[in-house]
Amino acid sequence: MADTSKTAGKTATKKKKAKRTVATGQVHVQATFNNTIITFSDTSGNVLGASSAGACGFRGSKKGTAYAAQVAAERAGTAVKQQYGLSRADVFIKGIGLGRDAAVRALAQLEIQVEVIKDITGVPHGGVRPKKARRV
C-alpha cells in the first residue's frame, strides 16, 4: 500500500503557543458531604485547572474530609500558579461539606491572595411539595 496523501514528504512545524498569564482569577469550591471539587478559572469563567478529592486518590468516605479538600486545593493551585502565574483570586463556595474552610486555607498557604469569599450555596424557595393528607 502506497501513501497517496499530498503531504507525505512534508513535515509540519507547530508554532509554540504564547504563554498566557492570568494575574487575577476565580476559585470555585463545591463542597458536598461525599467529595470536594476545586475549579480555577479566569474572570470571564474559562477554566484554567481543576482537581477533586477523588482525583487525588481519596476513596469512599475519606473524599468528604477536610484534609482531602486541602490536598485537592493544593494540587490544583500549584498547577495553575505554575502554568498561568495566578496571584489573586475571588473564592466562590458552594455546598455544606467539610472542605469549605480547608480549601480556602490551602490557597493562603500557596500565597494566592484571597480578595473575596462569597457563599453561593443554593437556598430552596418554598421547599419540596408536602405529603398528601392522611386519611383515617
Of residues 45 and 3, more confidence is placed in: 45
How long a stretch of residues is the chain? Answer: 136
pLDDT of residue 4: 59
Domain boundaries, the chain: 24-119
**Of the CATH numbers 3.30.1950.10, 3.30.420.80, 3.20.20.80, 3.90.1150.10, which one belongs to the domain with range 24-119?**
3.30.420.80
The answer, yes or no, to whether residue 114 has pLDDT greater than 90, is yes
pLDDT of residue 1: 59
Closest by CA to 97, choosing from 40, 24, 38, 26, is 38
pLDDT of residue 97: 92
pTM recorded for the entire structure: 0.80
Closest by CA to 101, choosing from 136, 132, 134, 65, is 65
**Strand order in 47-52's β-sheet?**
47-52, 36-42, 24-31, 88-94, 113-119
Kindly state the cell numbers that stand for 129: 411539595
pLDDT of residue 5: 57
Q: Is 31 helix (H, G, I), strand (E, B) or coil?
A: strand
pLDDT of residue 19: 75
